[in-house]
Structure 1
């Protein structure tokens, strides 16, 4: 059961009131009010190129997301459908799943250099193993009876893949895409903080040095707003398309 839209706003509104009240009670520069965060947001938008830095971060998120999803889906399908390949690759998958993101980022910067390619590569390498793991499980759960029916009807290999095999993977692809986006943008911020001269991570690092808590929260609010827009404009419509295609 879906709540009406006004009722969905009750909890955020109450949290906003609690934040405002507690910030006024504490009355400290280290605990800004929502109004101060709003003022910092407007200042960054008008005077400090917030849209430029948001754009750079989103560009890195986009590139890393596309690379990790394409490669992750391909390797995940291969591991899920070929047991011998899965047996050989499983130790490597476990290893890559457990390597800390920070280690991968530092190694990419040290080997490739402090360049854009290193930043995107580091983020993609951190995400690919999780996509592979989720898609592999989906490929294992493919309904073989449907595949046999497609063979009986003499569908071409491409038709079997795109019309019978791939639709069964859609829920796993969507799940990996959602988790991937949430993971990627967090790693992108770390990448920017450590080795880039622009982007949200770079700005957060600069504000941290000046103890600008309102500015940090302003950038956080701006980026979370972008993520909510992506959810509303991209992932929910895709979910609806996938659900209609599976009925």
Structure 2
């Protein structure tokens, strides 16, 4: 027997704590970097307000606005306002998206319907959002239907435009494949065209949601008694800039959260693409 002893190198596995910490950093890197500039701006804003560079009755400090938000939360009214606004946006978003998908698919795929319908839809798109308000009040009153309908109108146009553009930009070779397998028009639309137009459609969803948050302000001006838009009007009427700015910041925060959810959906849905964003 030889006196030599062989050493076997066993790969050392990283501890669960190390894996968790590394994964946690990568998962939150985008949020950490994205929060740097807002935090710096808030600090500058706070300091400028405390040393008197900004008049408090025009632009309260972030700490004062945060106190107002906390106070409304303790009173139990903040959740009600956020909840009803979120309900209106979500409902209007789904209605506007469904209508946009149906019409966009028809207009994008059938040239006859594009010639018939698209000019009228483009004309309606040029109408300012506030121009719809008195008409919807006359038709549906100042209740929830008029508010949700206004938001749906705002969501409809960007989703419609993106799905039409996405469908008309589909590679013709894919259509030829469907013809080889003798797909019907409906099956070609469902199996080939809509999946190929998915990236454009998801961009339209994010644009539509952003407009939905803009339109909800106009909607809640229409005689609403609850909602973040109502808080804007309340702050204006009571000359309370902290309420106005608190409402604006809540709009920005909740809008960012909902957009991030759609961004996550977009990333998951398009993970198969060999794109620049998927390589980062």
Under a length normalisation based on structure 2, what TM-score does the superposition of the two structures give?
Answer: 0.80
Q: Is 1:190 paired with 2:218?
A: yes
CA–CA distance in 2 between the matches of 1:231 and 1:87? 33
Deviation at 1:145, TM superposition (A): 1.1
Deviation at 1:168, TM superposition (A): 1.1
Q: Relative to structure 1, is the Cα distance of residues 16 and 62 closer, same or farther in structure 2, using a 3 angstrom cutoff?
A: same
Deviation at 1:7, TM superposition (A): 4.0
CA–CA distance in 1 between the matches of 2:33 and 2:223? 43
> More deviation in 52-61 or 149-158?
149-158
1:235 to 262, 265, 274: 262
- The match for 1:73 is 101
1:113 to 135, 141, 145: 141
- Written as runs of structure 1 = structure 2, the 5 A alignment for 1:17-28 is 17-24=43-50, 25=52, 26-28=54-56
Deviation at 1:63, TM superposition (A): 0.9
- Contact residue 235 and residue 242 of structure 2 kept, 8 A: no
CA–CA distance in 1 between the matches of 2:70 and 2:189? 50
Q: Which has the higher contact order (CA 8 A, sep 6+)?
A: 1
Deviation at 1:4, TM superposition (A): 6.3
Deviation at 1:28, TM superposition (A): 2.6
> More deviation in 12-21 or 217-226?
217-226
Structure 2 residues without counterparts, runs of 5 or longer: 1-27, 275-280
Q: Relative to structure 1, is the Cα distance of residues 132 and 6 closer, same or farther in structure 2, using a 3 angstrom cutoff?
A: closer
**Structure number, greater radius of gyration:** 2
> More deviation in 237-246 or 178-187?
237-246
Deviation at 1:80, TM superposition (A): 1.4
CA–CA distance in 2 between the matches of 1:78 and 1:4? 38
2:35 to 9, 12, 25: 9
| Secondary structure of 2:222's aligned partner | helix
Deviation at 1:221, TM superposition (A): 2.1
CA–CA distance in 2 between the matches of 1:6 and 1:63? 31
- Written as runs of structure 1 = structure 2, the 5 A alignment for 1:38-77 is 38-47=66-75, 49-77=77-105
- Contact residue 104 and residue 125 of structure 1 kept, 8 A: no
1:74-107 Cα shifts (integer Å, max 9, x gaps): 1112111122221122321221111111111210
The alignment of Structure 1 onto Structure 2 pairs a total of residues equal to 245
CA–CA distance in 2 between the matches of 1:114 and 1:173? 32
Over the residues paired in the alignment, what is the CA RMSD in angstroms?
2.2
| Secondary structure of 2:271's aligned partner | helix
Deviation at 1:134, TM superposition (A): 2.1
- The match for 2:250 is 222
CA–CA distance in 2 between the matches of 1:125 and 1:86? 19
| Secondary structure of 1:244's aligned partner | coil
> More deviation in 92-101 or 158-167?
158-167
Q: Relative to structure 1, is the Cα distance of residues 118 and 167 closer, same or farther in structure 2, using a 3 angstrom cutoff?
A: same
Structure 1 residues without counterparts, runs of 5 or longer: none
> More deviation in 237-246 or 192-201?
237-246
- Contact residue 142 and residue 222 of structure 2 kept, 8 A: no
Q: Is 1:206 paired with 2:234?
A: yes
Deviation at 1:242, TM superposition (A): 2.0
